[in-house]
Amino acid sequence: MLDDRQLKEIKKLAIRIKIGVIDELEEVGSGHLGGSLSAADPLAVLYGAVMKYDPKNPKWEERDKFVLSKGHCGPALYATLAIKGFFPYEELKTLNKPHTNLPSHVDKNKTPGVDMTTGSLGQGASTAVGMALGEKLRGKNTRVFLMTGDGEIDEGQVWEAAMFAAAKGLNNLCWMVDFNKKQLDGTIKDILDTGDLEAKFSAFGFDAVTVKGDDYAALYEVFMKRSDKPVAVILDTIKGRGIKEVEETPDNHSMTVSHESAARWRDELKAALSAIEGDK
Ligand SMILES: Cc1ncc(C[n+]2csc(CCOP(=O)(O)OP(=O)(O)O)c2C)c(N)n1
Ligand SMILES: [Mg+2]
């Protein structure tokens, strides 16, 4: 169980990741804001308290791996990695610029700390399952954390990967679905209703559970849980979480980020950070 001090650190980390996302997107003027913000809360728990890694040795053999299969949300992962010391924070300002190490969709050959190249939706799920199998075959005591989107799971290969993971007993795999109820150009309900995801993953042979995306204490417990099956965590999230105006924008998949809006949103996040710091 996380103690109060650890919980506070994770809450602060989540906000700092969101500020990092704004710092990145302001520089390019637009980007995948909604899905980066909904991913930030679970990322804070994973990189703040759960995963084994070494920023000075990103390819450390005994590290846990993270696959951001919804690779368009690279800004959230980059902010996390920068804050955790994989590369200088200032580099976030190079997002998606020529010759950057931080392309808008993640690339393991470019960015220290990125474990898999993604962006073509669905493929990250297959590669993460392959990685989990590989780690098991090599007798490693490591884990693979995978995050897919809720629109992404419309891709057929995702379910082939899920069936394979359960059939091979990959209990070193923790598969998150960022269930933010929206995809690129509409809601999940309107475009292709996923139905009861917890029941679906259970039926595929996972230990499946639904957790609020910003219930940090509950997320920690679920991420630490081990069983003989792979774990599926349906993250009940809000696209744009943490910035009211973004949460309330219906089409918040990719948004323009002007200097004015960035300043306003940063102020809101900094106020939330100060409230936590002031909270004894
Ligand atoms: C194979 C493939 N088809 C289409 C796209 C274009 N695309 C990028 S993001 C996106 C929507 C993803 O929605 P979701 O998985 O719900 O992500 P989130 O809401 O977390 O941003 C689409 C269709 C893509 N990257 N890959
Ligand atoms: Mg979505």
pLDDT at 180: 98
pLDDT exceeding 90 applies to what percent of the chain?
98
Pocket probe mutation, ligand 1, options 70, 123, 157, 179, max atoms within 8 Å of Cβ: 70
Largest CA distance in the chain: 52
The Cα-based distances of 153 to 70, 215, 220, 253 in angstroms read 10, 23, 24, 16
- Give distance in angstroms: CA of 183 to centre of ligand 1: 6
The protein residue whose alpha carbon is closest to atom 20 in ligand 1 is 35
* Mean pLDDT, rounded, for 60-75: 98
Q: What kind of fold does domain 4-278 have according to CATH?
A: Rossmann fold (3.40.50)
Ligand index nearest the alpha carbon of residue 185: 1
Distance CA 6, CA 55 (A): 20
pLDDT at 44: 98
* Mean pLDDT, rounded, for 194-215: 98
**Is the per-residue pLDDT at 280 higher than 60?**
no
The SS3 of residue 256 is strand
Distance CA 231, CA 225 (A): 8
Task: Report how far Cα 34 is from the mean position of its chain's Cα atoms.
Answer: 12
Residue 120's closest CA among 188, 178, 72?
72
pLDDT at 278: 87
- Residue 180 in tokens: 């933010």
The protein residue whose alpha carbon is closest to atom 10 in ligand 1 is 184
Distance CA 277, CA 280 (A): 7
* Mean pLDDT, rounded, for 181-187: 97
- Structure confidence at residue 279 as a pLDDT band (50, 70, 90): confident
Place of tokens 């091979």: 168
Pocket probe mutation, ligand 1, options 183, 246, 247, max atoms within 8 Å of Cβ: 183
Pocket probe mutation, ligand 1, options 107, 148, 184, 191, max atoms within 8 Å of Cβ: 184
241 lines ligand 1 (CB under 6 A): no
**Is the per-residue pLDDT at 85 higher than 60?**
yes
The atom of ligand 1 lying closest to the CA of 39 is 20
- The 10s digit of each residue's pLDDT in 11-52 is 999 999 999 999 999 999 999 999 999 999 999 999 999 999
Task: Report how far Cα 164 is from the mean position of its chain's Cα atoms.
Answer: 22
